[in-house]
Amino acid sequence: MQLLGLNIKKQIDQIPKSVQRFAIKALILFIVWQVMYIFILMPNRLIDKPLSLFTGKSTVAVLKFVGFANETYIAKEVPFRLYRDNQLNIYDKTTIFGNGKRLVGISDSCNGLSLFILYIGFLICFPSKIKLKVLFFFLGIITIFVVNIIRTSMLCIIHEKYPNFLDFAHHYLFNIVVYSTIFLLWVIFSKKSSSIKTNEYSNEQ
């Protein structure tokens, strides 16, 4: 058992210190967020409720702007039954209606909050200049929100025009698009951070 412990410690020591620090920060941040969300934010829907409704109304605005939606298209909250841990929970779910029928429901898991936290968590854990982090914070949040609105808008259109394609688009296609966007933002941020460090090192020589 002691030998196994020594082997594990040896393997960990081989991991670069910067990677170890990043992993530790990420783990602590994940635990803190989960505790705060599960016990405070989720039960009261302090962030989810306004964010879901704003996402729904923004989606309707985009659909009207591109000429797809008419005045019958609205986003409103309707009672939604959710079974969790063998208990029935009822909450108001933002739902988009058009031409008298339900098109897309925006659950709390689809309002973009988890995407924002995932993206911001990387910025917090990655070593970089505060100014650059702040810049990419706003740039990333705006980009992710816009991409998510495009996603929900396209789902409404697909629901109307190509219903057989809806399940694939919802669970696979747009997930790939959204997470690829976040990954691309991370890559740009990382390269920009490395470039700044390289320039600072060169100036010191």
Task: Answer yes or no: is 76 within a domain.
Answer: yes
Q: What is the CA radius of gyration of the chain?
A: 22
- Mapped onto helix, strand or coil, the DSSP state of residue 95 is strand
**How far apart (Å, rounded) are the C-alpha atoms in residues 75 and 59?**
8
Tokens at 157, concatenated:
């259109």
| Beta carbons within 8 Å of 44's beta carbon, 6+ residues apart | none
Assign residue 112 a region (left: φ > 0; alpha: ψ between -120 and 50; beta: otherwise): left
Q: Which residues pair with 82 in a beta bridge?
A: 89
Would 151 be classed as within a structural domain?
yes
**CA atoms within 13 A of residue 66's CA, in its CB half-sphere:** 11
Q: Is residue 91 part of a domain?
A: yes
Model pLDDT, residue 85:
63
> What's CA 27's distance to the chain center, in Å?
18
Tell me, yes or no, whether 12 lies in a domain. Answer: no
Residue 175 lies inside a defined structural domain of this protein = yes
Rounded Cα gap, residues 134 and 139, in angstroms: 9
The domain tally of the chain equals 1
State the pLDDT at residue 86.
66
The structure tokens 């706003």 sit at 138
| The pTM of the whole model exceeds 0.85 | yes
CA distance 59 to 119: 22
For 28, 81, 83, 114, 169, the CA distances from 90, given in Å and listed in that order, are 32, 5, 9, 21, 27
Residue pair 107/90 in contact by the 8 Å Cβ criterion: no
Domain span at residue 94? Answer: 19-188
- Whether residue 10 lies inside any domain: the answer is no
Identify whether 44 is part of a domain. Answer: yes
Q: Provide the pLDDT for residue 107.
A: 87
**What are phi and psi for residue 57, nearest 5 degrees?**
-65, -35
Residues of the chain under the 50 pLDDT cut:
4
Q: Assess contact for 111 and 136: CB atoms under 8 A.
A: no
pLDDT at residue number 183: 97
Q: What per-residue confidence (pLDDT) applies to 15?
A: 73
Q: Are 72 and 99 in contact (CB under 8 A)?
A: yes
Residue 85 lies in a domain: yes
Would you state the pLDDT for residue 17?
82
